[in-house]
Amino acid sequence: MKLLFSRNPNPRLAVAVARYLKAEVAYEFASPMAPGQAERYRALNPNLTLPILVGPGWSLWEADAIACRLSRDTHSNFWRSGDDEPEMIRWLSWGKENFARGCDMVHFERGTKQRWGLGPIDKALVEEGLGVFHTSAAILDVVLSEREWLVGNSVSYADFRMATFLAFNDVARLPLEDYPSIRRWYGRLEAIDAWRDPFQGLEAPPLPLVNSEALPD
């Protein structure tokens, strides 16, 4: 199998999962939206987005689906099953609509748009995203004050997915210091090599730099 990836948030998540699971995949840096590349990738993913997992005669796109497949292939409980599966699905669903969504909104304005020259920071959208972040972070902080990981006694895909955009907080500058339990939880994730530096040893051109002058103090 081959995992097509870039350094953007969801592809980064998929690479972190694959490396954490020590999955037997080859890694290939890809740019479906680059000039002249669309047709090469359209058959693999009509959305022309990454990540994409490719096998003989098939492809699978979307980070969550890829994480599920790799976890099954490696016989890991990283993607929880059995009695823990509903709990994991709850956090995946809630995170995408709440905490991760707020993080994404802020990161898009302060990070993605500034990296790729997509226009100035929209301060109103940043404030909206921060509102979603604070509302959901307050809930998540209470939950994490009572447990080390979101599901059970060990790290799971729910933790990786919830933290997708925190790996880019150098530019998003979300106020994690306001939420000590989230900060401690994320520190535990940062202690995992596959999460902290999933691209170690891979051919992966760095993302364009963000102009520091465009970011808040």
Domain boundaries, the chain: 2-73, 82-192
pLDDT of residue 214: 56
Q: Are 102 and 133 in contact (CB under 8 A)?
A: yes
Burial class (CB in 10 A: 0-12, 13-18, 19+), 24: exposed
Task: Report the pLDDT averaged over residues 39-65.
Answer: 96
Q: From CA 155, how far away is CA 158, in angstroms rounded?
A: 8
Global confidence as pTM:
0.95
pLDDT of residue 129: 98
Task: Report the pLDDT averaged over residues 163-185.
Answer: 98
The topology under which CATH files domain 82-192 is Glutathione S-transferase Yfyf (Class Pi); Chain A, domain 2 (1.20.1050)
pLDDT band for position 211 (cuts 50, 70, 90): confident
- Quick: pLDDT tens for 105-138: 999 999 999 999 999 999 999 999 999 999 999 9
Is residue 152 over pLDDT 90?
A: yes
Instruction: Give the residue ranges of DSSP H helices in the chain.
Output: 9-21, 38-42, 63-73, 85-97, 99-107, 113-116, 123-144, 157-162, 169-172, 180-190, 193-196
pLDDT of residue 217: 53
Q: Is the dihedral of CA 33, 37, 41, 46 positive or negative?
A: positive
Which CATH number, 3.40.30.10, 3.40.640.10, 3.40.1160.10, 3.90.660.10, labels domain 2-73?
A: 3.40.30.10
